[in-house]
């Protein structure tokens, strides 16, 4: 039996579904697939597998199947598995959501910086999903409590990153979007302000991303692939400000902190990224006036200068490609403008 290893809990991803593949042995006796997979996949519960099958997330020989399907020798099995951490029940809370687009299948939300996406340790209320649960209850009064937890999430972005997220509102959308994220066909472009003058106008960073071996809250780039998971980021310079650079990043994979880790690995931490050293002066003079200018910028944009500006995918129902783009938020835009003005003085000095 050929089986991909199960996801390791220490290697997180912003994509909340992962794919397993296995082939049934030649001599395998017919048995229900839920029973078969429970005995083959470490930590898998029969109940969770059955839920995945009901959503069409388990396929045999390219076709979705039900839990009572009996496997046959040499069957090819693919499982799109929810790898998100266990969460507490979602408590619906009224809050103002910036819903960028919504139809019967998907909801596109422009998440502000500072908002946690889903409840977790220390953040059980006030998260995006608390607001989504309330929104759904208002529009779908009969929605079940079982549907509300982590409703429709197939990916996430960091608390202090702003920008676009897509949530699925139907089983079909969940299945289709999970597959698109896994297959890396979803278009995700970010705008970031990074320290120093990025040398190349464009480039690609290929370095695994995984937990830092000593500081477990941080992630690290492993260019030789000795730890973590494969991560690929394409970047392009938008504008140069001398001591900082405005760039566009296109994700090919979606690892936790991927852009932040990759740009730090390149020697260009994100502006005001307190995890990876961007919250201090990385490039520039030591003169008090310059330090005051940078501190003023820090006070305006009080988080890493990273915005998920563009999101594109194939719509689950229509089969048409759709693209969404939201403007850079005020805090980042104001700091970008300040660096643009400062760079004029810098170039003329």
Q: Phi first, then psi: give them for residue 134, nearest 5 degrees.
A: -65, -45
Q: How far is CA 223 from the centre of its chain?
A: 21
Task: Say how far apart CA 263 and CA 31 lie, in whole Å.
Answer: 49
Task: Give, in order, the Cα–Cα distances in Å from 190 to each of 64, 72, 161, 201, 251.
Answer: 34, 45, 10, 16, 8
Residue that has been written with the tokens 């000593």 in this structure: 214
Helix (H, G, I), strand (E, B) or coil at 325: strand
CA distance 36 to 246: 51
Q: Which entry of 14, 75, 105, 158 is annotated as an active-site residue?
A: 158
Contact 69, 32 (CB under 8 A): yes
Phi, psi (deg, nearest 5) at residue 36 = -60, -50
DSSP letter for 88, please: P
**Helices 330-348 & 288-300 angle (0-180, nearest 10):** 160
Place of tokens 């990224």: 273
Distance CA(211)–CA(217), nearest Å, equals 7
Helix residue spans in 55-193 (DSSP H)? 128-139, 171-182
For the question of residue 14 being annotated catalytic, the response is: no
For residues 300 and 331, what is the distance between their CA atoms, to the nearest angstrom?
A: 6
Residues taking part in catalysis: 158
């Amino acid at each position: 039996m050929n089986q991909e290893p199960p996801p390791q809990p220490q290697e997180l991803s912003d994509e909340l579904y992962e794919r397993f593949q296995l082939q049934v042995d030649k001599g395998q006796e017919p048995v229900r697939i839920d029973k078969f997979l429970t005995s083959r996949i470490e930590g898998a519960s029969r109940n969770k597998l059955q839920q995945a099958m009901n959503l069409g997330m388990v396929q045999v020989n390219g076709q979705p199947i039900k839990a009572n399907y009996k496997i046959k020798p040499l069957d090819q099995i693919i499982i799109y598995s929810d790898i998100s951490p266990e969460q507490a029940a979602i408590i619906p809370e009224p809050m103002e959501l910036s819903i960028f687009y919504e139809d019967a299948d998907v909801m596109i939300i422009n998440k502000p910086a500072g908002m946690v996406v889903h409840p977790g340790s220390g953040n059980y209320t006030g998260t995006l999903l608390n607001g989504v649960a309330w929104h759904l209850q208002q529009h779908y009064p009969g929605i079940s409590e079982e549907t509300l937890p982590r409703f429709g999430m197939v990916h996430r972005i960091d608390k202090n990153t702003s920008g676009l997220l897509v949530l699925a509102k139907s089983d079909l959308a969940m299945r289709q979007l999970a597959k698109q994220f896994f297959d890396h066909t979803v278009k995700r472009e970010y705008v970031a302000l990074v320290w120093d003058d990025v040398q190349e106008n464009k480039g690609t960073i290929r370095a695994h991303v995984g937990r830092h071996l000593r500081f477990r809250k941080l992630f690290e780039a492993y260019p030789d692939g000795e730890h973590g998971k494969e991560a690929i980021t394409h970047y392009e310079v938008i504008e140069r400000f001398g001591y900082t650079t405005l760039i566009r990043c296109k994700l090919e994979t979606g690892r936790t902190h991927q852009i932040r880790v990759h740009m730090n690995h390149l020697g260009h931490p994100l502006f005001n990224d307190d995890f990876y050293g961007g919250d201090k002066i990385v490039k520039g003079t030591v003169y008090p006036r310059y330090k005051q200018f940078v501190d003023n910028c820090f006070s305006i944009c009080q988080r890493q200068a990273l915005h998920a500006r563009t999101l594109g995918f194939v719509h689950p129902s229509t089969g048409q490609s759709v693209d969404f783009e939201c403007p850079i938020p005020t805090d980042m835009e104001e700091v970008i403008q300040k660096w643009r003005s400062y760079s004029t003085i810098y170039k003329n000095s």
